[in-house]
Amino acid sequence: MGALRRLRPEPAIDQRSAFLGVTRSARGLRWRERIGPADLNLATAICQRHDLPELLGRVLAARGVALDEVPIVLDPTIKALMPDPSVLQDMDKAAARLADAIIAGEAIAVFGDYDVDGAASVALLHRFLAHHGLGCRVYIPDRLFEGYGPNAAAIERLAADGARLIVTVDCGTTSFEPLGIARKLGADVVVIDHHQADERLPDVHALVNPNRQDDLSGLGQLSAAGVTFMALVAASRELRRRGFYSAARPAPDLLGLLDLVALATVCDVVPLTGLNRAYVVKGLHVMRSRRNIGLKALFDAAGLDQAPTPYHLGFVLGPRINAGGRIGDAALGARLLAGEDELEAARIAQLLDKLNKERKAIETAMLEQAMAEAERQLEADPELPILVLGSESWHKGVVGLVSSRLTERFRRPSCVISWEQDAGTASLRSVAGVDIGGAVRAAAASGHVVKGGGHAMAAGLTVERTRLEPLKAFLAAQLGTSATLARAAAGLDIDGAVTAAGATDDLVQLIERAGPYGQGNPQPRFAFPAHRIRNAKIVGERHVRFALEAGDGSRRDAVAFRAAGQPLGETLLGAGGLPLHVAGTLRRDTWGGRDRIEVTIDDAADPRHQG
């Protein structure tokens, strides 16, 4: 693969001295310089060969960019970074079957997941088929009543409705029984997925998944929408090879669909390396033209009147699309992204915005209970490798969000369960270096759960209440060593020190050249040494806003999201005018017509209590 594909392990903590001498911050972290000693020479070489400022060279070197990769990192393109789709196992079979269906005008059904990645993947396929004059039946399972992935009743319904080809997107890799039913009923199945796979696979016409064990493409970091886009490229190529396209029947503008791929790539938190970076960079260009009617309606509903960034995709648009699957109609997101009716798009976008507000209220109540229970568990056992907690009153669609917050707060994997009678549905989240998806798959293979699967960083499972204690013991044994090592290695990486006066628009423009940032390509983080906290107050949903003031009197607006009631928030609110070391990232804020640089705070430390 291309640039930023080769992620190197973090240097050992003892190779880097504590940045600004911070050995234990408000969040209990050691601050350390992100760039290791071995990469300092690389940073210098990058600057010299490519005529770049020193800071940009350090940012690139610290993220594992090789000297010759710099041009493609600074300008990632689909042409340079996307390999021939045929490198994916079964891709040619999938493309040929899609081409057959399009030429013959067959009845096609698309079965998708209920999150952003699933909705975007469904919309990609729907729009591709619509360009070729075909409609398709879209089926999104109800998160609460059907759960994740294909189920027998849904497959039987699609086959009974006449579907001769069923395409599953962002699901299907472990759906042995339901997809076997499809074959018996005379429907071919093409699976397009990216979830972890066992050696055994369902008996389907084609299964395209870069994470199947016999796939050698090296594309396992793609979202499902990223894989789906490659499938559309392959199918379009196959149709062109067969002479299907002409002046009267042109090929589709696939690059015009990259806004959907960018949205899914950011929201599914896959690494922004290699091809994924190109997807997001080029997809944002498409998105800024607001060609997708559904996305435009969602921009309007969210009050987003500026050029979208990865931040807006992940924290403004994504949560609203997900709200449908969490507490409303799971198909709303796919209908919004695939639709062409402006009035209907506006209606769905407003509904999703309303559902998102309701989701926030539910999450706040659940999180308060979960935090208290997690603290009780850790008081009893501070070395607990994984938090496992649940309640009959917790909403099944929100447990994943609560699990994410717990993992973020306590720096260890968590499993949050919504109990219903004798069984529970759980979402699990993890930290770097702790493979939660592998542990869940092992639990399923060992009979500890009814079903389960996922990624290294996120997973889901269904467990019988009588099996909870054995499951807890199994997960603790599976994750104990890696979770302990991950906590020991926990630290906050810093790219450099700046002052409030130095955090300018020019600095933001400079570091944006190495973006987009996200999982696998972390946003540059800067330390603000000995700055005073002015006018700190709690706003909105437990956020802490204040002004950072340097010794020369210069100031910069700052916010610590969800910090109130946490050690970080208490440190900021209780600073009392004394100087603190503060660490955070920079972002351009143009909300409400304003144009300013704001610091998003990650941590703080009292200089008097270090060393």
Whether 32 maps to a domain, the answer reads yes
Assess whether pLDDT exceeds 70 at residue 8.
Answer: no
Q: How many residues appear in the chain?
A: 611
- What is the domain-level CATH number for residue 45? 2.40.50.460
Instruction: Indicate if the pLDDT at residue 12 is higher than 50.
Output: no
Q: Is the pLDDT of residue 197 over 50?
A: yes
Mean pLDDT of 140-167: 92
pLDDT class of 146 with cuts at 50, 70, 90 = confident
Q: Are 85 and 254 in contact (CB under 8 A)?
A: no
> Over the stretch 469-502, which tens digit does the pLDDT of each residue have?
999 999 999 999 999 999 888 899 999 999 999 9
- Intra-chain end-to-end CA distance of the chain, in Å: 42
User: Above 80 in pLDDT, residue 72?
Assistant: yes
Contact assessment for residue 228 and residue 124, using Cβ atoms and an 8 Å cutoff: yes
Distance CA(208)–CA(90), nearest Å, equals 6
Average pLDDT over residues 327-342: 94
Residue 2 lies in a domain: no
Residues 53 and 131 in one domain: no
How far is residue 109's CA from residue 141's CA, in Å, rounded to a whole number?
13
Is the same domain home to 197 and 290?
yes
End residue of a domain, out of 303, 334, 353: 353
Residue 197 lies in a domain: yes
Based on the domain organization, do 185 and 216 belong to the same domain?
yes
Say if residue 60 is in the same domain as residue 135: no
Number of domains in the chain: 3
Residue 14, pLDDT score: 45
Contact predicate 15/284, CB 8 Å = no
What is the pLDDT of the chain when averaged over all its residues? 93
Residue appearing with tokens 């849904």: 154
Are residues 277 and 135 part of one domain? yes
The whole-number pLDDT of residue 454 equals: 84
Give the mean model confidence (pLDDT) for residues 507-528.
Answer: 94
Which DSSP letter does residue 456 get? S
**Residue 369 covered by a domain:** no
Has residue 74 been placed in a domain?
no
Pick 608 or 373 by higher pLDDT: 373
- The tokens describing 499, both together, are 């002052």
Q: In this structure, how many other beta carbons lie within 10 angstroms of the beta carbon of residue 31? A: 25
Q: Are residues 455 and 586 in the same domain?
A: no
pLDDT score recorded for residue 7 = 38
Is the pLDDT at 292 greater than 90? The verdict is yes
In this predicted structure, the answer to whether residue 456 has a pLDDT above a threshold of 80 is: yes
| SS3 state of residue 585 | strand
- 437 and 288 co-located in one domain: no
Backbone angles phi, psi at 256, to 5 degrees: -70, -10
Residue 549 has pLDDT above 70, yes or no: yes
Asked if 489 contacts 13 with a C-beta cutoff of 8 angstroms, the reply is yes
pLDDT at site 102: 98
* Helix spans in 161-274 (H): 176-184, 224-241, 258-267
Segment (H or E) for 423: strand 423-429
Does 534 score more than 90 pLDDT? yes
Domain annotation covers residue 360: no
Residue 458: which CATH number? 3.10.310.30
Q: Strand, coil or helix: what is 136?
A: coil
52 pLDDT more than 80: yes
Could you tell me if residue 361 is inside a domain?
A: no
Query: Quick count: other Cβ atoms within 10 Å of Cβ 37?
Result: 10
Question: Which strand (E) or helix (H) includes residue 64?
Answer: none
34 with 98, same domain: the answer is: no
Report the distance separating Cα 241 and Cα 397, nearest Å: 44
Q: Residue 6: is its pLDDT beyond 60?
A: no
Under 8 Å between Cβ of 172 and 202: yes
Q: Whole-model pTM?
A: 0.89
- Residue 5 pLDDT > 70: no
For the stretch 588-611, what's the b/e string if a residue is b when 16 or more beta carbons lie within 10 angstroms of its beta carbon? bbeeeeeeebbbbbbbbbbeeebe
What pLDDT score was predicted for residue 593? 61
Rounded mean pLDDT, 399-404 = 96
Asked if pLDDT for residue 239 goes beyond 50, the answer is yes
The 8-class DSSP code of residue 314 comes to I
pLDDT of residue 29 exceeding 70: yes
- φ, ψ of residue 527 in degrees (nearest 5): -100, 140
Token pair belonging to 6: 């080769």
Q: Which pLDDT band holds residue 453 (cuts at 50, 70, 90)?
A: confident
More confident call, 115 vs 148: 115
Do both 199 and 294 map to the same domain? Answer: yes
Query: Is 350 within 8 Å of 320 (Cβ atoms)?
Result: no
CATH code (residue 94):
3.90.1640.30
Residue 321 belongs to domain spanning: 83-353
Give mean pLDDT, residues 448-466: 92
CB atoms within 10 A of CB 131: 18
Residue 179 sits in the same domain as residue 198: yes
Nearest Cα residue to 119 out of 253, 235, 260: 260
User: Where are the extended beta strands (E) located within 362-401?
Assistant: 387-391
pLDDT in tens, 210-228: 999 999 999 999 999 999 9
pLDDT, mean of residues 281-292: 96
Average confidence (pLDDT) over 8-17 = 49
Q: What pLDDT is stored for residue 10 in this prediction?
A: 41
Say if strands 526-539 and 543-549 run parallel, antiparallel, or are unpaired.
Answer: antiparallel
Q: Give 342-396 pLDDT, tens digit per residue.
A: 999 999 999 999 999 999 999 999 999 999 999 999 999 999 999 999 999 999 9
Same-domain check for residues 516 and 482: no
Does residue 75 belong to any structural domain of this protein? no
What's 292's DSSP letter? S
432 and 579 assigned to the same domain: no
Angle between helix 176-184 and 152-160 (nearest 10): 20
- Which of 469, 488, 507 is the last residue before a domain boundary? 488
Q: Give the domain-ending residue among 488, 505, 523.
A: 488
- Distance from C-alpha of 279 to C-alpha of 263, rounded to nearest angstrom: 9
